[in-house]
Amino acid sequence: MCAYQVIEGHIAKPQGYQATGIYSGIKKVEKLDLGLILSEVPAASAAVYTTNLFQAPPCHVTRESLEKEGKLQAVVVNSGNANACTGSKGVDDAKMMQHLVSQSFGVPKDYVAVASTGVIGQFLPMDCIEEGILQLPKALNNESAPLFSQSIMTTDLIEKTVCVELPIDGKKVTIAGTAKGSGMIEPNMATMLGFITTDVKIEQSYLQKLLRKATDTTFNMITVDGDTSTNDMVVLMANGMAENNELNEQHPEEKEFYQALLYVMQELAKKIARDGEGATKLIEVEVTGAPSVEAARQVAKSVIGSSLVKTAVFGADANWGRILCAVGYSSAPIQADKLDVFLGSIQVVEASFPIPFSEEEAYAYLQGDTVKIGIHLNEGEYQAIAWGCDLTYDYVKINAHYRT
Amino acid sequence: MCAYQVIEGHIAKPQGYQATGIYSGIKKVEKLDLGLILSEVPAASAAVYTTNLFQAPPCHVTRESLEKEGKLQAVVVNSGNANACTGSKGVDDAKMMQHLVSQSFGVPKDYVAVASTGVIGQFLPMDCIEEGILQLPKALNNESAPLFSQSIMTTDLIEKTVCVELPIDGKKVTIAGTAKGSGMIEPNMATMLGFITTDVKIEQSYLQKLLRKATDTTFNMITVDGDTSTNDMVVLMANGMAENNELNEQHPEEKEFYQALLYVMQELAKKIARDGEGATKLIEVEVTGAPSVEAARQVAKSVIGSSLVKTAVFGADANWGRILCAVGYSSAPIQADKLDVFLGSIQVVEASFPIPFSEEEAYAYLQGDTVKIGIHLNEGEYQAIAWGCDLTYDYVKINAHYRT
């Protein structure tokens, strides 16, 4: 039983937040490309960033600022240009975005997080961005919050938002999250852009710990194409306006909060995987009976990342041999002769050996929009779940000519 | 300058070998599916095998036999069925193939290597195979050798054969190689099926050492789809009929032999990459100036394996940002600010920073059938080259319905 309930909502649903999104001219087509989240008061905040060596300037700038006090009051995001591999001018541009938001809304510069997503290696069109940021204050109103989720999209086809509420100390606490991501998805200790707001009152160091822990089982367990982006970032803001007693490890309801946060992050992760470039299906690989969590994750990520498994799912082909093959090259220290494999509820492998199953039934199952692959290692009690999508003609189409 | 010269030839070109291929009924369509290499005398032999946990029975059986004396006299291969994930019956079937060849040609059972390639998880049609092996002796003649390369193909579109000769101790030594492989290609300490024959006289332990060393810079540096097969195997036979003084580490011409062997293996590896499923182009990633060989290989394999780089090359899109991105997530311990990147001779990145280049010129270059990506790390003297291919609509088409 869980303490939280899922509700309709957007990124500004928790108390004391506003958000908006506008078109500033960064994208060639007139789609929203500049977004803002604003908290009424400074929020205890945490973030995780990409581990890519070429971490983009916005990640550097946000990390540097956030490390000072662990607080944020605003987040500014542009889509259409990643401001990555742009050297010191890229850093100056990200700092300029921070400065302009700081001026426009009267919040300290270091309380402003900056994020960018889009094409790598081009300078930001700072004239568009400056003009855009100046328009943000008047674009911010009670109806504008849903526009934020749209303003961070690139090749995404659907908006990704999740909202839950739960009681803590008898106070209503709300958590809202939104994310973008469709290609270049193989997060590693961080993820694509994700933004989570909550009005819970919580210790900042504890918040950072929860974010990192939840990231490992959510955003870090998805893959679209195995490519870890230069710009991945998840920012979590908690402004305390729910007025509960401050959450920390000793709080009696800390587990309930973590479960709710985990749900929000897991749903966002699944939405990213389902909206993977060209995808027609969400694939979920659940590994159970593993000798360790690490082994379970290695196996799950190996299978979810296999191009051959992904194309077979696209073709609704019950090609379980490719699943075993991907388990076999995962490098996980597991035994070779004990595996059971299921497609949904249809068992296709028992003790690493094929067993008869109805091809028709399997074909029908694999045509659904969610395909669950169950792998029971039968040698321990650990488990992991990874999410991904099928590999289709449209993935190739989208990526053969992305820049042009 | 190299001592060897490339010649026309097939797998039975070195002295004392014969080879053939026939259709035995394993494949649904009438294409050759059973092949044999036979040496007049027992040959010092070496092999490397897949590291996949679910190593197929033919790999087990060959390894077990070869480990006894380090000698082979015959190799039997079937295509169309991998005899993988087939348990103890699979082992029995592989041993039966060994037994039947031993009987038909009067060679010791343990001098027969067995290899299989094709669909995973189905039992071999032993009636076809038994009947086929009985037909092999009369299928073996002076014209039949080129058929071997055809008989090992699955989704391969082209035959892959390389032949060189060089003098050692004044004797003519010939090395011939053939390979198959198109999908499920990310060899790891071994590769897809590869067969190399030579008439050189050589110490078996030295032969094994050369094979492993050459594998690391050839077959282990190619990738088509990141999937390490259950059946990868390279077998190298040296029957000594060239009558040179036995090669070992002290032989004055050992380097010349190694260079020739390396050439054969590298050309086969490139042929596999170029014939990758659905591929329209060979991609070669050369990393130089690395702080270690391992770092150079990590970077090269990360870039060659990137779906985003592969699709960009397919679209002839000079999307160098994806190249930097893949370098950045390679986990190689390198510096982030010193990279130069070239597409052919066109420099696109200098000191990790984009520089102006002609998009038209780059587009024209990327439309060629071989694309070279040069990455100079500028921090050491080590290098590595990896080979792969572009990711296309046809890769998806081939793999969405492979079993059916």
Residue pair B77/B116 in contact by the 8 Å Cβ criterion: yes
Residue A186 has pLDDT above 50, yes or no: yes
Q: What is the pLDDT of residues B74-118, one digit of tens each?
A: 999 999 999 988 889 999 999 999 999 999 999 999 999 999 998
Nearest CB partner across the interface for A391, out of B86, B349, B396: B396
Neighbour-count burial for B249-269, b at 16+ CB within 10 Å, e otherwise: eebebbebbbbbbbbbbbbbb
Best probe of the A interface among B227, B337, B397, by most A CBs < 10 A, is: B227
Structure tokens at B142: 């002076």
Q: What is the pLDDT of residues B189-236, one digit of tens each?
A: 334 788 899 999 999 999 999 998 888 888 887 777 767 777 788 889
Confidence of residue B263 (pLDDT cuts 50, 70, 90): very high
Interface touch B324/A396, C-beta < 8 Å:
no
Quote the pLDDT of residue A48.
Answer: 87
**Across A105-123, average pLDDT:** 93
**Across A312-333, average pLDDT:** 90
Cβ-based burial of B369 (10 A; exposed 0-12, middle 13-18, buried ≥19): exposed
Residue B345 has pLDDT above 90, yes or no: yes
Interface touch B396/A393, C-beta < 8 Å:
yes
> Chain A residue closest to B85 (CA)?
A353
Residue B187 has pLDDT above 60, yes or no: no
| Of A262, A266, A280, nearest in space to A316 by CA | A280
Interface touch B85/A184, C-beta < 8 Å:
no
Residues of B in contact with A84 (CB under 8 A): 321, 325
**Across B33-42, average pLDDT:** 96
Residue A191 has pLDDT above 60, yes or no: no
Interface touch A329/B120, C-beta < 8 Å:
no
Best probe of the A interface among B311, B331, B359, by most A CBs < 10 A, is: B311
Best probe of the A interface among B191, B367, B396, B404, by most A CBs < 10 A, is: B396
Active site residue A191: yes
Question: Which listed residue (A191, A197, A223, A288) is catalytic?
Answer: A191
Residues of A in contact with B315 (CB under 8 A): 399-402, 404
Question: Which listed residue (B191, B197, B215, B392) is catalytic?
Answer: B191
Which residue shows structure tokens 């899922």? A6
Shortest Cα–Cα distance, A122 to chain B (Å): 8
3-state secondary structure of A404: coil
**More confidently predicted of B277 and B167:** B167
Interface touch A121/B321, C-beta < 8 Å:
yes
Residue B393 has pLDDT above 80, yes or no: yes
Residues of A in contact with B184 (CB under 8 A): 308, 322, 325
Residues of B in contact with A192 (CB under 8 A): none
Quote the pLDDT of residue B402.
Answer: 60
Mean pLDDT, chain A, integer: 91
Quote the pLDDT of residue A339.
Answer: 93
> Chain B residue closest to A326 (CA)?
B227
Neighbour-count burial for A343-378, b at 16+ CB within 10 Å, e otherwise: bbebbbbeebbbeebeeeebeebbeeeebbbbbbbb
Question: Binding site annotation covers A246?
Answer: no
Quote the pLDDT of residue B223.
Answer: 75
**Across B59-63, average pLDDT:** 94
3-state secondary structure of A312: helix
Shortest Cα–Cα distance, B93 to chain A (Å): 16
Residues of A in contact with B279 (CB under 8 A): none
Question: Binding site annotation covers B277?
Answer: yes
Quote the pLDDT of residue B401.
Answer: 75
Interface touch A52/B325, C-beta < 8 Å:
yes
Interface touch B328/A52, C-beta < 8 Å:
yes
Nearest CB partner across the interface for B317, out of A121, A184, A401: A401
**Across A352-369, average pLDDT:** 94
Best probe of the B interface among A329, A337, A366, by most B CBs < 10 A, is: A329
**More confidently predicted of B162 and B186:** B162
Question: Binding site annotation covers B239?
Answer: no
Measured distance CA(A96)–CA(A83) in Å, rounded: 12
Residue A61 has pLDDT above 60, yes or no: yes
Residue pair A40/A199 in contact by the 8 Å Cβ criterion: no
Residue A18 has pLDDT above 60, yes or no: yes
Quote the pLDDT of residue B9.
Answer: 93
Structure tokens at B210: 């050369």
Helices and strands (DSSP H and E) totals, chain B: 11, 15
Quote the pLDDT of residue B353.
Answer: 87
**More confidently predicted of A181 and B286:** B286
**Across B309-335, average pLDDT:** 91
Residue B321 has pLDDT above 50, yes or no: yes
Measured distance CA(A40)–CA(B236) in Å, rounded: 72
Nearest CB partner across the interface for B329, out of A52, A314, A349: A52
Q: What is the pLDDT of residues B122-134, one digit of tens each?
A: 899 999 999 999 9
Measured distance CA(A50)–CA(B96) in Å, rounded: 53
Quote the pLDDT of residue B222.
Answer: 79
Residues of B in contact with A324 (CB under 8 A): 54, 85, 120-121, 230
Shortest Cα–Cα distance, A301 to chain B (Å): 13
Quote the pLDDT of residue B219.
Answer: 83
Mean pLDDT, chain B, integer: 91
For chain A, give the percent of residues with pLDDT over 70: 97
**Across B289-308, average pLDDT:** 93
Interface touch B307/A307, C-beta < 8 Å:
yes
> Chain B residue closest to A187 (CA)?
B329
Residues of A in contact with B306 (CB under 8 A): 226-227
Which residue shows structure tokens 């032989």? B251
Which residue shows structure tokens 């321990």? A380
**Across B388-399, average pLDDT:** 89
Interface touch B329/A87, C-beta < 8 Å:
no
Question: What string of DSSP letters covers A30-96?
Answer: S---EEEEEEEEEEEEEEEE---TT--HHHHHHHHHHHHHSEEEEEEEEEEE---S-HHHHHHHHHH
Question: Binding site annotation covers B13?
Answer: no
Nearest CB partner across the interface for A400, out of B121, B315, B328: B315
Confidence of residue B361 (pLDDT cuts 50, 70, 90): very high
> Chain A residue closest to B224 (CA)?
A307
Shortest Cα–Cα distance, A137 to chain B (Å): 34
Cβ-based burial of B381 (10 A; exposed 0-12, middle 13-18, buried ≥19): exposed
**More confidently predicted of A50 and B16:** B16
**Across B352-376, average pLDDT:** 95
* CA A374-A287-B185 angle, 5° bins: 85
Quote the pLDDT of residue A359.
Answer: 93
**Across A283-308, average pLDDT:** 94
Question: Binding site annotation covers A198?
Answer: no
Question: Binding site annotation covers B40?
Answer: no
Residues of A in contact with B230 (CB under 8 A): 321, 324-325, 328
Residue A377 has pLDDT above 90, yes or no: yes
Residue A19 has pLDDT above 60, yes or no: yes
Interface touch A328/B353, C-beta < 8 Å:
no
Quote the pLDDT of residue A402.
Answer: 60
**More confidently predicted of A182 and A341:** A341
Please name each of the domains of chain A with its CATH number: 5-274 (3.60.70.12), 282-400 (3.10.20.340)
Residues of A in contact with B396 (CB under 8 A): 311, 314, 391-393, 395-396
Best probe of the B interface among A59, A60, A85, A340, by most B CBs < 10 A, is: A85
